[in-house]
Chain A
Amino acid sequence: MKLTLKIWRQKNAQDKGGIVDYPIDGIEPDMSFLEMLDVLNEKLINKGEEPVAFDHDCREGICGMCSLFINGEAHGPDRGVTTCQLHMRMFKDGDTIFIEPFRAKAFPVIKDLVVDRSSFDRIQHAGGFISVNTSGNTIDANTIPINKADADKSFDAAACIGCGACVATCKNSSAMLFVGAKVSQYALLPQGKVEATERVLNMVHQMDLEGFGNCTNTGACEVECPKGISLENIARMNREYLAASLKG
């Protein structure tokens, strides 16, 4: 396959940056998208140019490190996958592919396609946990039976990999799907209910401080989410938040 890549290059956070064109040849449909970028980088290095910086780690769709906004969509045109699981068979010979970083005020660019998503971490520091000591002196795991449906829903919410595709996709750069998933995971479990009020207030407050936009329920995040996190989690967070604010 022969392709034209239009890649965002930016030397560092201060640099203005811009799109640079890279023609590339010899791409096989069985390659993953990131392997295609590996090929490009190998060529750039051999030519004495700087390779394109991009985040990636596990390359099997679970660590959430890879990002990339490909042809106008977070993680590219395929559904239910991260960029590292996207394969070149999704593209045609001769295609032009735009590759941009995830963009949001709360995700500043570090270099080229690498962005800083520590805002997600800070939201979790604010309340993404159950305050239980890790000393091991807890009750037996089977002491509290948990309704399977709730446990499964909690798991579905917990499957979030924190990649930021929801923010990148959302026209408002809203982080509600991410935060909603975390709030829901705990809100659905009896262990998490104890401090549910504090948790949702604190996490949403931190989310607002980070400069994410507001959710306008377009549903784009749910479509682009590689783990299929449901919008239901946002509704649940809204509910939890309302109840928490009424409690004061």
Chain B
Amino acid sequence: MAQSALLNASILKKVAMALSGIFLITFLALHVTLNFISIISEDVFNTASHFMGYNPLIQFVMQPILAFGVIFHFIMGFILTAQNRAARPIAYANYNGAANASWSSRNMIISGLVILAFLGLHFYDFWFPEVAYKYIAGTEPDATRYYGELVHKFHDPIRTGLYCISFILLGFHLWHGFASSLQSVGMHNKYSRFLAKVGYWFAVVVPAAFVIIALFHHFNQ
């Protein structure tokens, strides 16, 4: 079999999807930990944020990798979804998907699109101002500004609401995505069953933590 065929192989695409997903999950774990600090201590949060914002390894190595992971996961998701749609040109008149599969597993594209939209908002809120601040305006580093900026963003109830909805959809995405990625890379045994349980907890705890952080800052103004 030709190598080009191998690159197009459905299973490898799925594995790539799973691996990028697992990578993004580790990033989420880091992100939620950092944010949670904001509830506990303003100073620690500022210090940690400053480190993340100015460490060259994180800025110039980790951040591009992360960006690639995000973009790859989305583009691959779109490609696979388009292929999957094309695999059934004539739809069923009556299709009872709920009879045999969970909502979250059937609607990864919807939860994914919501997360994509959220990312747009999130970049508009934090990443673009950050880039403008650091690299365009060239403003001097200020290690104490982060907490204030965070609290400020959660002042608006609509934005806070949008964030919370997105986090819930993220929960659905993770609920299926975590266990699914294990299956895609070929894990199906007592360890994967244990890991899947961890995944279900993760899918509940992490988005819940994000929601709590958002609500905490919104009501704690």
Note all chain B residues with C-beta closer than 8 A to A19. 93
Do the beta carbons of B93 and A105 come within 8 Å of each other?
no
B15 to chain A, nearest CB (A): 6
Contact call A238/B96, Cβ cutoff below 8 A: no
With A171-B101, A217-B176 already in contact, the answer to whether A245 and B90 are too (CB < 8 A) is: no
CB-CB < 8 A to A6: which residues of B?
93-94
Minimum C-beta distance from B65 to chain A (A): 22
A69-110 interface with B by 8 A CB criterion: 69, 71-73, 77, 98, 100, 103-106
- In the complex the two chains form, is A218's CB within 8 Å of B106's CB? yes
Q: Mark B89-119, 1 if CB is under 8 A from A, else 0.
A: 1111111110111100110100000000000
B180 interfacial by beta-carbon distance below 8 Å = yes
Range for the number of chain B residues in contact with chain A: 35 or more
Taking a contact as CB atoms closer than 8 A, the residue among A71, A104, A173, A242 that contacts B11 in the complex is: A242
Q: Does A219 lie within 8 Å of B87, measured CB to CB?
A: no
Q: Looking at the assembled complex, report how far the CB atom of A169 sits from the nearest CB atom of chain B, in whole angstroms.
A: 6
Select the stretch in A28-36, A38-46, A128-136, A202-210 that faces chain B: A202-210
A147 CB to closest chain B CB (Å) equals 16
Interface assignment of A196: CB less than 8 Å from any CB of chain B: no
Q: At the interface with chain B, which of A58-66, A138-146, A156-164, A229-237?
A: A229-237
> Does B137 belong to the interface (CB within 8 Å)?
no
- What DSSP secondary structure best describes chain A's contact surface? mixed
The total of interchain contacts (Cβ-Cβ below 8 angstroms) comes to 146
B interface residues (Cβ-Cβ under 8 A, vs A): 1, 5-6, 8-15, 80, 83-97, 99-102, 105-106, 108, 176, 179-180, 183-188, 192
Q: What is the 8 Å Cβ interface bit string for chain A, positions 158-186, against chain B (1 contact, 0 not)?
A: 00000000000101111000000000000
Chain A residue with the shortest CB-CB distance to B77: A216
Asked whether B184 lies within 8 Å of A238 as measured between CB atoms, the reply is: yes
Q: Any chain B CB within 8 A of the CB of A112?
A: no
Q: Is the interface of B mostly helix, strand, loop or mixed?
A: helix
Q: Which residue of B lies closest to A172 (CB)?
A: B84
Is A201 in contact with B1, judged by CB distance below 8 angstroms?
yes
Q: Are A103 and B185 neighbours in the complex by a CB distance under 8 Å?
A: no
CB distance from A20 to the nearest CB of B (A): 11
Assess the B96–A73 pair: CB atoms within 8 A: yes
**From residue A127, how far is it (CB to closest CB) to chain B in Å?**
11
- With CB as the reference atom, state the residue of chain B lying closest to A104: B88
B10 to chain A, nearest CB (A): 5
**A17 to chain B: closest CB distance in Å?**
8
Chain A residues lying within 8 Å of B185, measured Cβ to Cβ, are 238-239, 242
In the complex, which residue of chain A has the Cβ closest to the Cβ of B96?
A: A72
CB-CB under 8 A from B84, the residues of chain A are: 171-174, 213-214, 216
Given contacts A103-B92, A238-B14, A238-B15, contact A231 B183 (CB under 8 A): yes
The smallest C-beta distance from A18 to any residue of chain B, in angstroms, reads 9
Chain A residues at the B interface, C-beta cutoff of 8 Å: 6, 8, 19, 69, 71-73, 77, 98, 100, 103-106, 169, 171-174, 201-202, 204-205, 207-208, 211-220, 223-224, 231-232, 234-242, 245
Instruction: State A219–B196 Cα separation when bound (angstroms).
Output: 14
Q: How far is the CA of A204 from the CA of B14 in the complex (A)?
A: 13
CB <8 Å contact, A216 and B11:
no
In the assembled complex, the CB of B141 is this many whole angstroms from the nearest CB of chain A, namely: 44
Interfacial chain B residues near A72, Cβ < 8 Å? 92, 94-97, 99
Can you report 17 A-B residue pairs in the complex whose CB atoms are below 8 A from each other? A100-B93, A173-B84, A174-B87, A204-B11, A207-B10, A208-B9, A208-B10, A212-B10, A214-B80, A215-B14, A217-B105, A217-B184, A218-B100, A218-B105, A236-B188, A239-B186, A242-B15
Which of B5, B13, B87, B102 makes the CB contact (< 8 A) with A205? B5
Q: Are A208 and B8 in contact (CB under 8 A)?
A: yes
B92 engages A69 (CB within 8 Å): yes
Nearest A residue (CB) for B14: A214
Q: Is the CB of B89 within 8 A of A105?
A: yes
CA distance A217 to B183 in the complex (A): 7
Given contacts A235-B183, A245-B12, contact A216 B100 (CB under 8 A): no
**Which residues of B are found within 8 Å of A240, using beta-carbon distances?**
186
Minimum CB–CB distance for A165 against chain B, Å? 10
Residues of B within 8 A of A234 (CB): 183, 188
Nearest first, the 10 A-B pairs at minimum CB distance are A72-B96, A239-B186, A235-B188, A213-B87, A172-B84, A223-B100, A173-B87, A213-B84, A218-B101, A238-B186
